A and B are shown apart, each in its own frame.
Chain A
C-alpha cells in the first residue's frame, strides 16, 4: 500500500479487511480505479459503503430516472444521506442487455467500457442475477447521452420492474455437446419479440425467460424463471460403442455399476455381461449417464424443448419451481420458434388480464386454477404436466365432459 498514491481516497477502515485473502477483492479494484482516475462518484459510493459496514444499514433509495421513450432499464439510486456523502448523491444503474450466453468480442466490450468511463463512475457488475451487464453509478444528467452512445453502438437496455426481464441462456451450441436446441438464437428471437414489454412496464410483475440447452439446466431456469425453455430429445440416447468400451476399460465395471447404472433414477440402465444396456422407454432424460460418459453417450437426434412455467424466488409465497406445460416441441424451423413465441404471448396475455399487482404467473395459475389457465391459452391437459394425478376427489367436471371417451385404447 505504501507505494500507492492514496491522495484521491478517503479512509475506509471498515472495508480494508476485505483487501486481504486470495480471492479477488472488489475493494482493491475500486480503490485502484479511484486512485487512477479520481472519479468522485466511485469514491462517494465506496465511502458510503464503508459507513454501511459501520452501521450495518443500507443507504440507497429509489426514484424515477429513465431514458426517452422507455419506462425501464435504469435503476435509480439516491443516497439517503447525501449531506454525509455528497459525491454519492446520485448513483444510478443502467441495465444493458448483453448477447445471449454472455459472449463478447473484446472490441464490442471495450466500446462499452469507453462510453462508461466517459459518462459514469467506471464501476460495473458482470453480471446481474437476471443477466444484465450493469453499469453502476451515473448522474441523471448523463443518462440520456450515455444511452444514446451505447444504443448507436448496438446496445439496448434491459428490463426492470413490471416488465419482461432480460433473458439468460447457457453457453449452448456455441460450445456444448449436450445443447438440444439453439439456446442463443431462440433467446435472441424471443427477447427481441418482447422488446416493447422489456422497455415499458405494463404487466402485473416481472416475467423472466431462461434458456437451457439440456436438462442439466445450467441457466437455472426451472428455479429462477417464469418461462423455462429446456432442451430435450424424444428418441433414443445415442451410443458410441467404441467410446463406451474405452470408458469401461478405463474406469472398470465397478465404476460403471456404482456411478452410472445404479444412479439412474428410473432404473433404465442395466448390466449385460460387461456392457451397459439402455431401456429408452424408461428414461426420463435426466442427463446423469450422459454427464458421466460424454464421449460415449449423447442426447438423441430428435431434439426439441420442454417448456416449464411458473418458477420464481422466495418472496412472498415461498420458492416455486416451474412445472411442465409442453413436454416436447420441436425448435428448429422459424415456424417452431414462432409457435413458442405465440404460445408464451397468450400466457402473458392471460396473466396480464388475471394477475394481481406483484403476482407472478406461477402464483396466478395457482390462485385462479390450472384448468382455467389451460383453457385460456389453448393447451390440452397432458399427463407429463403432473408428478401424479390428483389425490383428492373434490373437483367439478364440466357437464358435457365424457370421462370415458377413449377408454380401452391401450397400446
Chain B
C-alpha cells in the first residue's frame, strides 16, 4: 500500500519546533549572539567564528545523534513488540562503554600519541564495543536458526550486568585522572563536536535513517507478530538481522562520538505514539524530528544552566528520562491490572 496522505500529521509543527530550538541553541551560551543577526546573517567576525567553528557543528551533531537515538528506540520497540525496549536495554551502549573504559584505564599508547589520535581511538573503541556486543547478543539468542526475542532480552540483561561489573572493575583500577575521564564520558557530551566528526557521523547515520524510514511499512507488519508478518510476505528472519545491524551501527556511532546519552530512544517514540498513533510510517520520521529537537534543547540547557561551566548532556536527558520511565512503568502496570 502506498503512503497515506499525511495532511493531518503536523510535520510542519515538528519542523518549526526543531528550527526554533536550533536557533535558540545557536544564539544562547556563555557568549550570546542576537537571533536577528543569525537570521539575516549580519554577524560580526567573532560571532561568525563562534557560530561556524563551535555552535553550528555542535547543533548538527545534536540533531543527528538525537534523531538516530530516537529512531533506534522506535526500531527496538517494533522489534521487541514492547514499548519499554531501548538500545540501552540490550546492553549495546554498556558494551561500548566497557571498551572505552578499557582504553582509558589500560591505555597501552598513553603519552605516545597526540591528543586528537587518542580521541579518535576512543570513538573507534566504542564503535567496536557496540558492534561486538550486538554480535554476541545475537549469537546467544539464536535458537535453531531463529532469533528469539525473549532470548535476546535475557542475553541483553546478562551483558548489561557483565558490562556493569567490568566497568566497576575498571573504575577500581583507575587513577584520579582516568576516573574523571571515564565518568565524564559515561555521562555523555556533545562538546567536542567538530566539522570532521559531523561529516563522519552524518555519512553513516543519514543513510541508516533513510533505510529505516523506507522499512517503516515492514515494521508495521511486525506489530502483528512474527508469524503473521511472514504470512504477509515478509522474510522476518532476514529483516530482524538487518534491524539489529542498523541498531548496532546507530548506537555504536552515537556512543563513539558523544558518549552515553540515555532515554531519548525511550521517551521520543512513546510521545509520538501518544500524539499521532502507532503507525510506524509516522512514528519513524516524527521520532527523528522530535529526537533531534529534544537532544538539541537538552544540550542547550546543559550549556546555559551553569555558565561558564557545562553540564554533561547525558545527565540532563537522564534527569528528564528517569521520571518519565517510572511514569511509563506505572501507567503500564495500572493499565494491565
A and B part of one assembly: no
